[in-house]
Amino acid sequence: MISIAIAILNWNGEKLLRRFLKEVVDNSEEASIYLIDNASTDGSVQYVEYNHPGVKINKLDNNYGYAGGYNRGLNSINEDLICLLNNDVLVKSGWLAPIIDHFENHPQTAVAQPHIMDFNQPNQFEYAGAAGGFIDRLGYPYCRGRIFEDLEVDEGQYDKDEKIFWASGACFFVRKKVFDLLEGFDEDFFAHMEEVDFCWRAFNQNLSVYSLYRSKVYHLGGGTLKPSPRKTYLNFRNSLFLLIKNLPEKRFIRIFERMVWDGFAFLFFILKFNFINAFSVLKSHYSFYLNFQKFNRKHEENHEFIHYFKESFLPLSYFFLKKKKFL
């Protein structure tokens, strides 16, 4: 049987650990459980040490973000399959069995996610991953069950194990040998979209990513990084990093197109008098220019798989053609 670990990255998340960790421990008999702590100062580690002595703790010396925290924390974890689980996710009995079964019987699967539901509205898909992620031609991410801010109710419309393009970092199952092969997450992303970059690199190695419907978890969402100008900045900046690093062809044309549409987003924020988020868009482009050469050097010319998108241009389909679902 495949060995499995659950690795929970934490930074000052004591309240969330008090709320969610017991369910992880009680409902994950098949797994070893690890806490990777990004130098918390709020008593997180002390709480886990006292209340959950079976959880192994890896204490880092700084806050390295999502990418850096997991890269360092997973160095000492050697199980075959690792679940990277947010500290604000509720799991229920039997959630691991369908995942383990799939990985044991599908050796080409490198990464997978369960269906990710909204903790506060359990019949509705949650923003961060829903029923599995894709990107369009210009790198706009979307999910089955979530397009921009539109969230679908789960009515069984995605009740099929499905090959997807990217899996959510909120509950991200990855084979340890694949994580090591791809040298982990790109730490220059810090937070946001590093899982999309990782899955794109797995895609280029002819490896598969799946959404597995028989497993469901319930994500509180916004527990670590709430909506903010910082989040706007990271989303816009990291989208451009993703494209310059991974696009297989017509890179500069598509990046230019994407930046033009980012300009429309800037104008939208201005018209809404949301000047701080408008500034975040400008700041993201400035950071992209500063880091252009670094990410351009990361690009690999021998990309074999060109058809990385199903939907050509998501904003057109969504805002103008009023298409709300992408099955």
* DSSP-derived pairing of the beta strands 31-37 and 4-10: parallel
pLDDT of residue 28: 98
| Residue 307: predicted pLDDT | 74
What SS3 class is residue 84? Answer: strand
Q: How far apart are CA 238 and CA 244, in angstroms?
A: 10
pLDDT of residue 222: 59
| Structural domain contains residue 27 | no
Q: Return the pLDDT at 256.
A: 94
Tens-place pLDDT, residues 105-132: 999 999 999 999 999 999 999 999 999 9
Name residues of the chain where pLDDT drops below 50: 223-225
Q: What pLDDT, on the 0 to 100 scale, is given for residue 60?
A: 97
Q: Quick check: is 286 in a domain?
A: yes
Task: State the Cα–Cα distance between residues 103 and 105, nearest whole angstrom.
Answer: 5
263 lies in some domain: yes
In a domain, 299, yes or no: yes
- Number of domains the chain contains: 1
pLDDT value at position 49? 98
Predicted local distance difference test score (pLDDT) of residue 87? 96
Q: Which residues contact 319 (CB under 8 A, 6 or more apart)?
A: none
- In a domain? residue 213: no
- Please check whether residue 304 lies inside any domain of the structure: yes
Residues in the chain: 327
- Domain assignment present for 276: yes
The domain containing residue 246 runs over which residues? Answer: 229-320
Does 233 fall in a domain?
yes
Q: Are 133 and 142 in contact (CB under 8 A)?
A: yes
Q: What is the pLDDT of residues 216-252, one digit of tens each?
A: 999 998 544 455 888 899 989 999 999 999 988 778 8
